[in-house]
Amino acid sequence: MGRAALTRYNPRMADFSSLFRLDGRVAFVAGAASGIGLAAAQGLAAAGATVLCADLDAAGAERAAEGIRAGGGRAEALGLDITDGAVVAGTFEGLAARHGQIHVAVSTPAVNIRKPMLSYTDGEFEKVLRLNLGGTFHVLQAAGRHMREKKAGSIILFSSIRAVTVEPGQSVYAGTKAALVQMARGLASELGPDGVRVNCIAPGVVETPLTAPIKNDPHWYQAYSERNALKRWAKAEEMAGPVVFLASDAASYVTGTVLFADGGWTAVDGRFTPKL
């Protein structure tokens, strides 16, 4: 299978030794300055892609790109506010003109305001929806339009275990993560005939800047560790593998689905271990 373009799968052309390689491809990553976005950018670069590191923190995006280049990879940086639809659309047009084709688009940015839903203000509600749903929608739309024209591509969104399980103080955040899944499924159904795949990754508890406030609470940290089958939090770097998989030809027949990378959080009861 050609490495420079995602194509319709042909088993006679399969090269199983390079299923996960992304040589010759261009990958856009929103939120690449830190956390899961940074890990995704590094993983895609290690698999051979040229990575476009985008973030509201332009300096952080440049540091991410510099780190990839220092390791022998190919990357460039750009400051980008994904909550501005016109800017996102214009950015994709410019990137497409410069690179010819964007083969992979990953969107990671999110915000979580932990508080009872009855205590939420309109401003807080709007802030969570504006980034988690609105920003991701803009990336979906811009990437989708480009990939539909090219008849190929992989779009990867970051949902969460909170799309299917919730706790007090997570209602609004969880609502946005569940909505992302349905947005991805809907776009997957619309763009499937054009050879474009759209999927979500649902992490469990991951050590990132977003989760720092609870990670720094020993009791909370331990409680979350005990809740999943692996009895620990994930490192951000552990999300790179799922991203590379969904970006690559290894996932050529995977679309409209959710890949849970949650350490077994959604598979186990978690309350206690009974005597058997």
Q: 93 lies in a domain?
A: yes
- pLDDT-derived band at 9, boundaries 50, 70, 90: low
Q: 6 lies in a domain?
A: no
Q: 16 lies in a domain?
A: no
Question: What tokens were used for 101?
Answer: 């084709």
Range of the domain at 101: 22-262
Query: Using one digit for the tens of pLDDT, what is the confidence trace for 53-82?
Result: 999 999 999 999 999 999 999 999 999 999
Task: Please give the full DSSP string across 204-216, using - where no structure is assigned.
Answer: -SEESGGGHHHHT
* Nearest Cα residue to 107 out of 47, 163, 55: 55
First to last CA, the chain: 50
- pLDDT-derived band at 1, boundaries 50, 70, 90: very low
Q: 7 lies in a domain?
A: no
- pLDDT-derived band at 16, boundaries 50, 70, 90: confident
Q: 13 lies in a domain?
A: no
Distance CA 135, CA 97 (A): 22
Answer yes or no: 224 catalytic: no
10 pLDDT more than 90: no
Q: 3 lies in a domain?
A: no
Q: 15 lies in a domain?
A: no
* Range in 36-50, 205-219, 250-264 with the lowest mean pLDDT: 205-219
Mean pLDDT across 174-201: 98
Which pLDDT score, from 0 to 100, does residue 214 have?
84
Query: Using one digit for the tens of pLDDT, what is the confidence trace for 236-270?
Result: 999 999 999 999 999 999 999 999 999 999 999 76
- According to DSSP, the residues that pair with 54 across neighbouring strands are 30, 78
- Among residues 120, 173, 221, 224, the one annotated as catalytic is 173
Residues of the chain with pLDDT > 70, as a percent, come to 92
What's the mean pLDDT when you consider all of the chain?
93
CATH number of the CATH domain containing 201: 3.40.50.720
